[in-house]
Amino acid sequence: MKNMLSKINRKDALTLGVLVAMFLVFFVVLSTGMASNQLKNMIIPMSYYILLAISLNLMVGVLGELSLGHAGFMSVGAYVGCYVAVTLVEKYPSMPLAAYLPIAMVIGGLAAAAFGVIIGIPALRVKGDYLAIVTLAFGEIVRTLVQNMSVFGGALGLDTGDIRPKNTALTLLPFTAAVVILSAILIMNLVRSKHGRSIMAIRDNRIAAEACGINVNFYKVAVFGISAFFAGVAGVLYGHNFTIIKPETFGFNMSIEILVMVVLGGMGSNMLGSVVAAVVLTVLPEILRDFQDYRMLIYSVMLVLIMLFTSAPAFAGIRERLSLGFIKEKLTAKKKAKKKSKEGDGA
């Protein structure tokens, strides 16, 4: 753990800086009462969407497997975690938020992780499009099961009014900030570690990775579990922010919304994009009320256009000319040429 926290990549440091700065601003505006009601209601959703986006990016961008059931993992976390919290508060009414929220998060996260591992096992046999459908099927199964479970309130939903703190945004903010920042550090360091490189090797070429002695099965299941864990924690946050959790909230639409964030932010090992996209896509629809009706329409067009632009072979030339790497290369080309000629002299 200490080792995990001590080494931070430069790119990740920027992401972390953005997160810390963002939460500091939130804290200041909330505690001084400067925040409008609109902003107040956005802060916690923004945070759990960040968590959802980076955890999905771990699966889609780093492992390269599409998950269409991320909302399903979130729903498992939300229901199990909040159920635990509600039960705790019922039994010990004087229990403070600082006690039951972390317990709920750990249990909710672990429950989601268990489901992640269960879904990760078929992932060993199937891949690509098939796996995407398995995750989709999983999301639907979870939603249907929860709707039929009277423990969780069935279709009416689970009442979380008792565990939702008063002055919700400000009270939840320190916990939220801590969880999001800690999760971001853990995920980013995982990606930069030896394990992360193994996972990316699996993404780039599974067979070659296997031939290099990377345990593909282990890493696939592990990523499913880890990604689901953080989605579950996000679900617990969600449950504490609202007075009720309903099964239909965590439908396919929400999974797609998270996917749009990941795609817009850029799939891959850099998490900053996911963070920014999560914030922007949570704030924009709230600010532009008229935008609400067109939201999913614009998201869908965005998905298609981004995919066409980033991966159509026909646009490869334009992409290259626009990329930062290309510009950098041009600038450094001269230097390299000089260096090479020098090395040549030495030899």
Partner 1 sequence: MTLLIETLIQGISLGSIYALIALGYTMVYGIAKMLNFAHGDVIMVGAYTIYTTISLAHFPGWLGVLTSVVFCSVLGIVIEFLAYKPLRGAPSLNVLITAIGISYLLQNLALLIFGGQQEDVPNTGINVPSLDLGFVVVEGKVIFTIVLTVVLMIALTLFINKTKMGKAMRAVSEDKDAARLMGINVNRTISLTFAIGSALAAFASLCYGMNYTYIKPTTGSMPGIKAFTAAVFGGIGSIPGAMLGGFGIGILEKLSQAYITPIFGEITDVIVFGVLIIMLVVRPTGLLGKKIREKV
Q: Which residues bind partner 1 (CB under 8 A)?
A: 60, 64-66, 68, 121-122, 125-126, 128-130, 132-134, 136-138, 140-141, 144-145, 147-148, 207-208, 252, 256, 259, 263, 293-294, 296-297, 299-304, 307-308, 310-315
Determine the Cα–Cα distance for residues 72 and 247; give it in Å rounded to an integer: 9
Residue 319 vs 340, nearer CB to partner 1 = 319
Residue 85 vs 263, nearer CB to partner 1 = 263
How far is CA 156 from each of CA 9, 201, 240, 249, rounded to the nearest angstrom? Answer: 46, 45, 17, 12
Residue 43 vs 62, nearer CB to partner 1 = 62
Q: Residue type at 91? A: K
Nearest partner of 60 among 131, 139, 10, judged by Cα? 131
Distance of CA 93 to the CA centre of its chain: 33
DSSP result, 235-264: HHHHHHHSSEE-GGGGSHHHHHHHHHHHHH
DSSP result, 253-305: HHHHHHHHHHHHH-SSS--HHHHHHHHHHHHHHHH-GGGGGGHHHHHHHHHHH
What is the nearest approach in angstroms of partner 1 to the Cβ of residue 45?
21
What is the nearest approach in angstroms of partner 1 to the Cβ of residue 126?
5
Residue 53 vs 60, nearer CB to partner 1 = 60
Please report which helix (H) or strand (E) contains residue 159, including its range.
Answer: strand 158-159
Residue 183 vs 270, nearer CB to partner 1 = 270
Structure tokens at 117: 């591992």
What is the nearest approach in angstroms of partner 1 to the Cβ of residue 129?
4
Residue 13 vs 308, nearer CB to partner 1 = 308
Residue 34 vs 314, nearer CB to partner 1 = 314
Alpha helices in 121-251 (DSSP H): 122-125, 129-147, 168-192, 194-204, 206-211, 216-241
What is the nearest approach in angstroms of partner 1 to the Cβ of residue 33?
38
What is the nearest approach in angstroms of partner 1 to the Cβ of residue 305?
8
Residue 181 vs 296, nearer CB to partner 1 = 296
Nearest partner of 81 among 228, 210, 262, judged by Cα? 228
What is the nearest approach in angstroms of partner 1 to the Cβ of residue 321?
18
Are the CB atoms for 258 and 235 separated by under 8 Å?
Answer: no
DSSP state of 158: E
What is the nearest approach in angstroms of partner 1 to the Cβ of residue 273?
15
What is the nearest approach in angstroms of partner 1 to the Cβ of residue 227?
15
Q: Residue type at 168? A: T
Determine the Cα–Cα distance for residues 45 and 285; give it in Å rounded to an integer: 12
